[in-house]
Structure 1
Amino acid sequence: MTGHTVKITVLGPWSLKTSRQFWEGFTPAALPQSPRDDDPALRTVFRVDADWSAATAEVTQHGHTATITVQGDGDLDAAAAQVGRFLSLDIDARAWPEVADRDTVIADAQQRLPGLRPCGFHSPYEAAAWSVLSQRVRIVQAAKLREQLVADHGDGGAFPAPGRLRRLDLDLPGRKAEYLQAVAEAALEGRLDGAALHAADPERSVNDLQSIKGIGPFAAELIVLRGANSPDALPRNERRLAAEVAQRYGPDQSLDVIAEAWRPFRTWAAVLLRALREQRT
């Protein structure tokens, strides 16, 4: 196993500590909680979607510089770029504070979660797999299904590669095994490529992804917004976000109208509101 280190100048507000604390509580792809509050590093294991190798990553922050160290047997340049993408370190967010000037609710959210950048799934592939595992079951049960898949068929904590997932004869509730195979096929065909979806028009991608068996509107949004980490898309099928918007802006307010003030960071604003709701509830 070889190692590779890159340094990224992060443009705009960023706190690795805030992001790590948020991700430690993000059930679909939760990090193991650090045993020390003063631990400066974020560490994770993930599947590199450029070649489906497994890799580990360690990220530290020094002012506006992120140091990313990846280890694995595959394309480590791609692995490092993927880390930057799933932590939103590749986004020029110097205009993000201006959203707070236009929206007092987002100003409050930015103050409560200083430096938080959306982070969640390692890739669109893992987001798609989670969307299947979490259909019609409780989040806790879905998390256990994912943990078992990783333990039985993953590599050192990384989610199973799509080539392996496609061949598995899984005993899962409902049509989950069938849908996971469809997700694996889509990944192998390049339809869940993180870099491509990150660069594509998010609304078009949401529509296109619904042609994958088992992927509906909510799942397609999850793949694009939290898998590819598109910074400026609007989740229209997220009930918890709708409830938070109704509580903070009023029940008669239109999400589309409100979100105009969030451009070009509509995803970021939505994630902040959802994070605050999770903290409160």
Structure 2
Amino acid sequence: MSVVTLTLPITPPFDFRHTLTFLTGFPPTQGEQGTGGELRKAARLGGQTVGFVVRASSNGLALTLHPERPLEDAQVQALRERIAFFLGADVDLNPFYTLAGQDDAMGPVVRALHGFHQPRFLTPFEVACWAVLTQRRPLAHALALKRALSDAHGGMWEGHPAFPEPADLAGLSVGDFQALIPDDRKARALHAVTQAFQGVQTADLAAAPYDGVRDWLLGLHGIGEWSALFVLLLGLGRVERLYGNTGTPLLNELLRAARPVYGDLSPQQLWAIADRYGEQQGQWAIYLRSRSAFTSNPERAA
């Protein structure tokens, strides 16, 4: 094993303490990382499991990779980019903060979370799988199903499970998924999502036109409006848009997060506020939901 030490540049303001606080209570990755003053987690890359540690440093974030076997330079760079993207290290919060500065109600939220860069999932594939697993299932059940996939086809580093890459699951049939996930609908959806993400690059999805990516996601078996938005926000960092629909879980989530900040909003008032944030409306929603996640039962932030 060849340990590799790198620096992850950040776009200030960046407060790593907020990152650790958020990940400590983030339901979809419960038990998958250590957050005691540093982040300890595992990822899959090219058929091996790589543990990694991230610490705050004077010039950004210090990253240490712990692979099972020596990494090639291209693999090191790929992991560096993936982990930086996972941490939202290069997100410029200033456009959002400028708009929030014109919103008196958001002032206390921004001050409390100043420098908070929303962590994402390590890959959009993992988010898509989680979206399938958590549909109509309690959190504990969804976590158990996710862990079953990691145990069977992912990896482990120092007790931290690594979720499989699409390549790890590429050879599985629908029947193979059913053996791991005793739910026919979910097994078929996981198989479809796995096939769709084969060879798809996160950077391409993050840069492609928003509507095209959304339509592609909605075309996948088992991915609906809420799941697609979840992948766009927490898998790809796409904050340009929210879709106002009074029948979606998004409305209930946002109303629950927004009412302590804005008062007893109607759905129409909520979307009117979101519209004022333009292409930062996703960031606005993230800060509202994150405030709730920091201050309430983490199970409600799933």
TM-score, normalised relative to structure 1 = 0.86
CA contact (8 A) 1:133 1:142 kept: yes
Q: 1:257 to 1:228 in 2, by over 3 A?
A: same
- Cα deviation, 1:206-245, whole Å, max 9, x if unaligned, reads 1221111111111111111101122433264413123323
Distance 1:136 1:45, change over 3 A: same
- Aligned mates of 2:43, 2:243 — CA distance in 1: 25
Please show how residues 108-187 of structure 1 align to structure 2 within 5 Å. Answer: 108-156=108-156, 157-166=161-170, 167=172, 168-171=176-179, 172-187=182-197
**2:220 equivalent in structure 1:** 212
* 1:44 corresponds to: 41
CA distance in 1, matches of 2:267, 2:129: 35
Residues 151-178 of structure 1: per-residue CA shift (max 9 Å, x gap): 2321112112323324134332241111
Q: State the identity %.
A: 25
Match of 1:83 in 2: 83
Contact 1:53 1:161 in 2 (8 A): no
Aligned to 2:51: 56
Show structure 1 runs of 4+ deviating over 4 A. none
User: Gaps spanning 5+ residues in structure 2: where?
Assistant: 298-302
Point out the more displaced range, 151-160 or 12-21: 151-160
Higher mean displacement: 90-99 or 140-149: 90-99
Return 5+ residue gaps in structure 1 as ranges. Answer: none
Whole-angstrom CA distance in 2 between matches of 1:272 and 1:82:
23
Q: Does 1:258 align with 2:240?
A: no
Which protein has the larger Cα radius of gyration, Structure 1 or Structure 2? 2
Task: Report the TM-score when normalising by structure 2.
Answer: 0.81
1:63 Cα deviation (Å)?
4.5
Asked whether the equivalents of residues 69 and 80 of structure 1 are also in contact (C-alpha less than 8 Å), the reply is no
Deviation sequence 1:43-70 (CA, Å, 0-9, x none): 211234xx56532222222246122233
Q: Is the contact made by 2:241 and 2:282 (CA closer than 8 Å) also made in structure 1? A: yes
SS of the residue corresponding to residue 170 of structure 1 reads helix
Structure 2 vs 1, CA of residues 169 and 140 (structure 1 numbering), >3 Å: closer, same or farther? closer
1:21 to partner: Cα distance:
1.0
